[in-house]
Structure 1
């Protein structure tokens, strides 16, 4: 258990109001971390904070739009002022506002998806890494990409492109930050039962088609991504950086 302990760690998780982000926050708190939950709106976050506190954990909520650099800077300023450091960052927030052919996509679709899925994680990672480097304590950063970043999905081209870029960003930061004992890894979930994926999971025809490509023959629960994330941010993965941990029920096998 000590390998997975997050006692006295400060962990920030974006997109933490539901789904995979919520499950990560609940798990990190259970293993001892103080969790800073981030999303665009505080309402959903406060409910997760209450769940964590009800179980004896420690958490707080902060609002931030991951597509706005100014808001990211304000968020990280507040974290540094209040806590003095950051040990763990999980870039989980994502957007997929356009479902359709890339040939028909308008600029707004590219800009919105790029801003949240790539620009936000880049500047969150940059600021967190600077803080970690300055404190000299090392740290762990996890970027939540997708199997779509390896195998683009039909009608999700722009989303897939940003998730592929996020994988490349992970590898680049991993090499640059390794000398400071800051580990950077990516988690690649397959199809998971969340509101984010509901357009697919709630469509019987599409859902059946997706499941047919998954050797385990089912869609994942958000909690099934939390254990993988716990490994990547804990001492259990102390020699792991620059890797992509795929959790997809065997789809890419």
Structure 2
């Protein structure tokens, strides 16, 4: 078996997903393969072009789905259906297979929990919990039934948040989604504790200096939090996406973290 690694990254057409892909390419100098998943094909192609500038990258495949991970049926019938043959065609060369779930949404940060309507709750849960479970479960099933080998490791990674473990007002949907995703990976770690080939990690990247954090500052209806985030932005204290990506890549390379753990950028 080759010592190549295959990284599947959701939300890869921009933001932290893009930063992760480019950081992996710069950091890991052995054979690399990527499958990038996102809503926007031109955005994915821009990332692909940057990745292909590195000679050690063996392949870059794209799955562009305008509906993204909005619901379980799209995730199963389109994204997983496209993913299975792409991975299967190259799995014999892969020693490490990693699924990094970066895609997600914040919900309406102008609202407190009592303001939610059933449709907005359902829409948020469909994208950030139901589809997430569908994708993780699907990849895990494919690994266990088709892709598993004695020396092949599966890493399931959730881009989490401090909000998964600590409550703040106006983040009810987001915090619920992140904590649910953390717990799913903790359960998978427990179910596979006898095996070292399946490893899970929830990584909180810190308050990143990106478009999502800008939207948070513009829409979060909590004066104390808004003042804090605006001060961080003004004083350059937001976390660089590249710095945070490097910490995650280092964790995955070292592979000594406790499977099922939630680790924060500031604690590493």
Pair in the same fold by TM > 0.5: yes
Matching residue of 1:111:
122
Taking the TM superposition and a 5 Å limit, the aligned residue runs for 1:159-174 are: 159-174=174-189
Matching residue of 1:3:
none
Q: Deviations over 1:67-107 (max 9, x none)?
A: 33322332332333433477111011001232211111112
Taking the TM superposition and a 5 Å limit, the aligned residue runs for 1:50-65 are: 50-56=49-55, 57=57, 58-64=59-65, 65=68
Matching residue of 1:73:
80
Taking the TM superposition and a 5 Å limit, the aligned residue runs for 1:159-198 are: 159-180=174-195, 181-198=197-214
Residue 241 of structure 1 pairs with residue 242 of structure 2: no
Residue 130 of structure 1 pairs with residue 148 of structure 2: no
Q: Deviations over 1:202-253 (max 9, x none)?
A: 68x7554137699x9711111122123213332x124531111101x47xxx
Taking the TM superposition and a 5 Å limit, the aligned residue runs for 1:1-253 are: 8-30=4-26, 31=28, 32=30, 33-56=32-55, 57=57, 58-64=59-65, 65-69=68-72, 70-84=77-91, 87-99=97-109, 100-134=111-145, 135-136=148-149, 137-180=152-195, 181-201=197-217, 208-210=227-229, 218-234=237-253, 236-238=254-256, 240-247=258-265, 249=266
Q: Distance in 2 between matches of 1:217 and 1:93?
A: 25
Contact 1:76 1:127 in 2 (8 A): no
Q: TM-score, normalised by structure 2?
A: 0.80
Tell me the SS of whatever aligns to 2:86: helix
Contact 1:167 1:244 in 2 (8 A): yes
Q: Distance in 1 between matches of 2:135 and 2:21?
A: 18
Structure with the greater alpha carbon radius of gyration? 2
In terms of mean alpha carbon deviation, does 177-186 or 43-52 score higher?
A: 177-186
Q: TM-score, normalised by structure 1?
A: 0.84
Unaligned runs of 5+ residues in structure 1 are 1-5
Q: Aligned residues, how many?
A: 242
Tell me the SS of whatever aligns to 1:126: helix
In terms of mean alpha carbon deviation, does 111-120 or 216-225 score higher?
A: 216-225
Q: Output the aligned Cα RMSD.
A: 2.8
Tell me the SS of whatever aligns to 1:12: strand
